Chains A and B, each alone.
Chain A
């Protein structure tokens, strides 16, 4: 708190008469490996290089951003958020970003006009070795087969857009190229098969805690969280290398940001291979720049969707389709869960 106050005053001081001209407000998801990684890999080097003071605010909250934009008092300059919201509200809640020659450095289909990918995630099937020791699941389809593999299943339910529905359809035999338009009804039907054994974690923290505490036997879990669970002592969890739906987060510039130009500079800086790789290794997420080669630790390598070994498991989800249909899918999902 004290350091925050200090950095705010410092930011104002450097700016002189311009009301914090040389400062930027960066918004991420709060204290944790993810934000700390961004700070180490991007913000500190950027500060050192340009003399800009960067203040971290957060947590990232689309509803709060909307309220800010509506009231015309935008104080955020760079915000980490989900890829769909950035696409859906491009030009209304977010500024367009020109990435210039860096535009071709991201996985195909992930860059949008208002959102620059900064972290990649795979939705991995993991199982608890303590439960399935001698006879572990080997395919995505096993997750939905409660007869052959009895046990509690754990998924993150806060957002169906992390590849949850795609995983159901892929398990049901849909080819990756035929996934879109998503057959939401069919996907929910696949989940109906295991509904009695399904535990729905409403936050990633809850999911991670449940895994570490052996509260479940199988889980569909976002790779960065899979790593966190392993690092927190949940080492009895092992990945199954079948198809892995891939989603990503983006860096955005909130509409009406007071430091648009500098914000764009920071995003370009963060997107370069070196910074991208450093962040990926620190946060346990996949690098957004395809040329980045993060130096992963042993646990990270266990759940690495993006390295050479498991590259061919990736099924990158269709950001355009999701941004157009998100409201419908979330409503159907909420109805299925709460009904």
Chain B
């Protein structure tokens, strides 16, 4: 390995195939960790769900018919959609502003995004708990302007608001990195060719920022699908999400294969969505390349 390394650095014209072998060696530790601590347990869980107590798709049929799993799965997908949409609408103008302001102000804006990002998720959720509870800041604020009894704790709105806040950095960061690489002269060009500033934004800027939108949305959507802490702490079981139902199965009923089946369904749904997103975003990525090239 060391020999390969020195010879590779010495020989600057190393053949691509050799470089690739070297890269393969570098990937070895990560791959080993993934295989042992991720792929093997994952495969065991999926395998269990089809084989215990007997071979077949019994657990999956039971999920369809138990009247809970499908409801909760749909609710989870809906929540994830709402959270990603809200996050996008808040993050897009914010990320845009970050590209426009002076470097010092940009640093401040970046800090605003990163500070909560660095704070423990538990701390943030407890903060929301205090804000949303009865006689908390939010209720007092609303009753000061004439709306009484706005207690968000234990409601869908309460969970969504907190989730949006928790997820915001995951939307802002990809959006900003995508937007900051957009060549703003393209907008000037559009305007000089007669487009209104609004039209330039819509037909040139927006499509160019789409890769950031797609990666931000898929990141937030997929993370929300598996979210556990926020709904468990701020929601009530009436709005529980799929991860909470999995937890009930595993730790309260000791139904490992049944929980595994639910987890597998969640995984498959996520993979299908990821695949769909990659198909949708590909033409756009192609377009941006064409534009960049031009």
Interface of A with B (CB < 8 Å)? 61-63, 66, 85, 89, 152, 157-159, 199-200, 202, 206, 213-215, 326-327, 330-331, 334-335, 337-339
Contact = CB atoms under 8 A, between A and B. Distances in A.
A331 B68 CA distance: 9
Nearest to B68: A335
Given A335-B68, A339-B71, A202 B251 contact: no
B76 to A, nearest CB: 11
A202 B232 contact: yes
B148 interface: no
A327 B255 contact: yes
Nearest to A202: B232
Contact of A330 (B72, B154, B240, B253): B253
23 contacts: A62-B251, A62-B252, A63-B251, A66-B254, A85-B254, A157-B237, A158-B252, A199-B236, A200-B237, A202-B232, A202-B237, A213-B133, A214-B134, A214-B135, A215-B134, A327-B255, A330-B253, A331-B68, A331-B253, A335-B66, A337-B238, A338-B238, A339-B68
Contacts of A66: 254, 256
Interface in B222-275: 232-233, 236-240, 245, 248, 250-256
A326 B253 CA distance: 8
Contacts of A152: 134
Contacts of B254: 62-63, 66, 85, 89
Given A338-B240, A339-B67, A159 B133 contact: no
Contacts of B66: 331, 335
Contacts of B239: 338
Determine which residue in B71, B238, B255 has the highest number of CB atoms from chain A within 10 A of its CB, and name it: B238
Interface of B: 66-68, 71-72, 133-135, 153-154, 232-233, 236-240, 245, 248, 250-256
Given A66-B256, A199-B154, A337 B67 contact: no
A89 B254 CA distance: 10
B256 A334 contact: no
Nearest to A199: B154
Contacts of B253: 326-327, 330-331
Given A331-B253, A334-B248, A335-B67, 16 more contacts: A62-B254, A63-B256, A159-B252, A199-B236, A200-B236, A202-B237, A213-B133, A215-B133, A326-B253, A327-B253, A330-B253, A331-B66, A334-B68, A335-B68, A337-B237, A338-B71
B245 A338 contact: yes
A200 B238 contact: yes
Contacts of A200: 154, 236-238
A159 B71 CA distance: 21
A66 B249 CA distance: 13
Determine which residue in A61, A85, A200 has the highest number of CB atoms from chain B within 10 A of its CB, and name it: A200
A61 B251 contact: yes
A326 B249 CA distance: 12
Nearest to A152: B134
A11 B282 CA distance: 61
Nearest to B231: A202
Contacts of B237: 157, 200, 202, 334, 337-338
Contacts of B135: 214
Nearest to A158: B252
Contacts of B133: 213, 215
A339 B237 CA distance: 9
Contacts of A335: 66-68
Contacts of A337: 237-238, 240
A330 B68 contact: no
A332 B238 CA distance: 13
A215 B132 CA distance: 11
Contacts of A331: 66, 68, 253
Q: What are the 5 closest A-B residue pairs judged by CB atoms, nearest first?
A: A337-B237, A63-B251, A335-B68, A200-B237, A215-B134
A150 to B, nearest CB: 13
A169 B248 CA distance: 24
Contacts of A338: 68, 71-72, 237-240, 245
A158 B251 CA distance: 11
B197 to A, nearest CB: 49
B250 A63 contact: yes
Contacts of B240: 337-338
B257 to A, nearest CB: 12
A337 B67 CA distance: 12
Nearest to A88: B254
A152 B154 CA distance: 12
Nearest to B252: A330
A334 B236 contact: no
A63 B248 CA distance: 10
Contacts of B232: 202
A24 to B, nearest CB: 24
A288 to B, nearest CB: 23
A66 B237 CA distance: 26
Nearest to A89: B254
Determine which residue in B135, B232, B237, B255 has the highest number of CB atoms from chain A within 10 A of its CB, and name it: B237
A327 B66 CA distance: 13
